[in-house]
Amino acid sequence: MIIVTRPGVTEDEIDQIRERVEAMGLRTHISRGVARVIIGCIGDEERLRHLPLLRFPGVEAVHPVLKPYKLASREFAAASTTVPLGPVQVGGAEFVVVAGPCSVETEETTLATARFVASRGARGFRGGAFKPRTSPYSFRGLGQEGLAILAQARRESGLPVVTEVMDPRQVELVAEYADALQIGSRNMQNFPLLSEVGRTRRPVLLKRGMWATVTDLLLAAEYVMAQGNLQVILCERGIRTFETATRNTFDLAAIPVLKRETHLPVLADPSHGGGRRDLVPPLSFAAAAAGADGLLVEVHPRPEEAWSDGEQSLDFGEFGALMDGLAPFVAAAGRRLAQGPPQAAPPADGGSRVSAE
């Protein structure tokens, strides 16, 4: 921590600051400039973070030196981490496409979608059983019935399943069915929920809040990791800005910034990023080019009949075209894109997941 004083600071004020910092177990180092004094604080900066130093007489500015996140940082783990999504590793050489409907609607549409996206190279299946909706009058998901359909989709398609959990009381239930627990954008700072998924041993797919800086996102990951669950996959999905031509502003630069700051894998969600199906291909290609580890894409057999997000969902033909178009960009980025269905079903991993009910 670096503390900068106001011009005209008194020696008493400097002493008061030093004493307070030293009482927290740090050493101080004084550097006197023309008008201001700079107080360097040497030691465990974490102890100073909550101190309202700007309230101290004579203090003008305070600059932290360390990042506020630890486990998520490249300083903690210099090499990139891969996180398992069923049999697939996210964050490695393979560019992993996770596709599926916004919500699980019926068994028929869900299974058809899973089979189709698997046949075209998707390596994960997404679908919401519990849906956060801005209006209380919108469809909010099938709940446990939806989870059972997802488990069936996994069996039939061979794809591991990612689904959202919104309520700490449902983490255990969702973890029984899902290969990865999705934390949605609106819950990125739902701290009890983050702690609860941190206590499971399921991988967590953490979507960036539409108000969140990159630092906020990494601190949210830190909440999960601090509970002992280091398997976190991040996902850029757009932030809220003044631009109204798109549903959100897809913050492409966050992808390379995250790849530099953290060892965790980073996906991109081109469906929410743009909010329109015609933007899904260019945003997907760009995300691959910028170094993303994969995509989260909404696909529906008949988007014009979808119960949610139909405007940004691809139909089967559009998804096939996306995968075809994506291949050369993934190759240019030095990654592999799967072709055709997965070779084997995801492993049954014992009692913790409902792989056949």
Site for a copy of itself in 57-76 (CB under 8 A): 61, 63, 65, 68-69, 75
Query: Which residue of 290, 295, 299, 322 would you call a contact of a copy of itself, by CB under 8 A?
Result: 290
C-beta closer to a copy of itself: residue 282 or 347: 282
C-beta closer to a copy of itself: residue 155 or 186: 186
How is 31-93 classified by DSSP, letter by letter?
EE-SS-EEEEEES-GGGGTTS-GGGSTTEEEEE--S-S-STTBTTT--SPP-EEETTEEETSS
Residues of this chain, 229-248, that bind a copy of itself according to CB under 8 A: 239-246
Stretch that binds a copy of itself, among 91-99, 118-126, 145-153, 282-290 (CB under 8 A): 282-290
Query: Which residue of 148, 216, 341, 354 would you call a contact of a copy of itself, by CB under 8 A?
Result: 216
Q: How far is the CB of 260 from a copy of itself (least distance, A)?
A: 7
Helix axes 254-261, 214-226, angle to 10 degrees: 40
Q: What is residue 345's DSSP assignment?
A: P
Examine residue 211 and tell whether it contacts a copy of itself (CB under 8 A).
yes
Stretch that binds a copy of itself, among 117-125, 130-138, 156-164, 171-179 (CB under 8 A): 130-138
C-beta atoms surrounding 348 within 10 Å: 10
Residues of this chain, 21-60, that bind a copy of itself according to CB under 8 A: 29, 31-34, 36, 38, 40, 42-43, 46, 49-52, 54-56
Examine residue 306 and tell whether it contacts a copy of itself (CB under 8 A).
yes
Region of 155 (left: φ > 0; alpha: ψ -120 to 50; beta: rest) is: alpha
Helix (H), strand (E) at residue 83: strand 83-85
Residues of this chain, 153-192, that bind a copy of itself according to CB under 8 A: 166-169, 186-187, 189-192
Q: Which pair of tokens denotes residue 241?
A: 């800005």
d(CA 11, CA 7): 12
